[in-house]
Structure 1
């Protein structure tokens, strides 16, 4: 827990609003009971994040009639329709996702395939809420990049069997030129602008990739 407390202090110095939860279940209640009621939002969307899914917050939002839900990963939609929804998601009042890594100095480090998640993190939605397990907290930017390339990206790729990219088989980054490469765009978020626009729920469990 000390690691999360120290990370919270640094993140708050960088204008992020931070909550600490003991578990994914606790994170769910933190979001539903403490964060969501204060935001006064009408539309909600999300970027893919295993940690976020593990909290159950998206399942709640999908069943809640109080919000317009912009579904960016509806399997019944064509690829073109999914892309259009991901563009619409940038206009949502609230965007939910996770982060690939957070440094002990309070920076967010993320790597995307098409960039919809990091685009929303950077600009567009009025609020962004991130759900982050303690396993994502690393010492510095070098450690963050190493974690993302050697752990998160590999596990993410292996969870998408249809991509057919080298790292799925080798278990390590091959710096490939595959048309389905998932490692294309990096972002480093040093501070939240405006202050408290990005809210982070740090979870005292190893979650996600």
Structure 2
């Protein structure tokens, strides 16, 4: 990466970190996926009392290795909500249970320069957990999720993130899988059902954010 390009993102992420911190989020910047993993294990995790853990679908978590570490925390009960071969009804029940864990891990569809989180969910377990329930939430957010404002976040999610996410899942039948564009569909497999805008972390520091100076996720 060119030095000027790297400096641009350092400045942009620092601006975002300051805005998020003013909004009561706990924020750390990582220069790489490996550094994000170290921050989670060495800086954030030791401050939490974790007996139960779960997570929402997040390519960013997987890319950093944090999800692997969370699954292997010693003495911690893991609520696995994406297990293969488990009936959907059971997975939904586990997702309900995951709303009461000590630590919930996920990513975010967008983060604004004013320090807001913008997310769009299919089932609602991810945005539900960010909003209320788990004692602590940790979000891993790549620099590609940083946008100017809520309107830009919504456009990015509907035009880019949602169609790409639909294409990730074989067997789903939404028109965006065929065209790459949102049709505001009525498909039973529709993944765009619940919007949330998180203006501030409440209580202060409940939500920790690792901003990563790499493009992560969708």
User: Which of the five TM-score ranges fits, normalised by the shorter chain?
Assistant: over 0.9
TM-fit CA distance, 1:50: 0.9
| C-alpha distance in structure 2 between counterparts of 1:38 and 1:180, whole Å | 39
Select the residue among 77, 91, 102 that pairs with 2:100. Answer: 91
Select the residue among 66, 73, 86 that pairs with 2:82. Answer: 73
SS of the residue 2:156 aligns to: helix
| C-alpha distance in structure 1 between counterparts of 2:73 and 2:26, whole Å | 24
Asked whether 1:129 is paired with 2:129, we answer no
- Residue pairs, 1:100-119, within 5 angstroms: 100-119=109-128
Unaligned runs of at least 5 residues, structure 2: 1-9
TM-fit CA distance, 1:174: 0.9
Indicate the residue corresponding to 2:19 in structure 1.
Answer: 10
List structure 1 segments (4+ residues) > 4 angstroms apart after TM superposition: none
TM-fit CA distance, 1:146: 0.5
| C-alpha distance in structure 1 between counterparts of 2:121 and 2:32, whole Å | 26
Select the residue among 27, 43, 46 that pairs with 2:55. Answer: 46
Asked whether 1:27 is paired with 2:27, we answer no
Structure 2 length-normalised TM: 0.94
| C-alpha distance in structure 1 between counterparts of 2:205 and 2:178, whole Å | 41
TM-fit CA distance, 1:63: 2.3
Indicate the residue corresponding to 1:194 in structure 2.
Answer: 203
Asked whether 1:183 is paired with 2:209, we answer no
| C-alpha distance in structure 2 between counterparts of 1:22 and 1:161, whole Å | 33
Count of equivalent residues:
209
Unaligned runs of at least 5 residues, structure 1: none
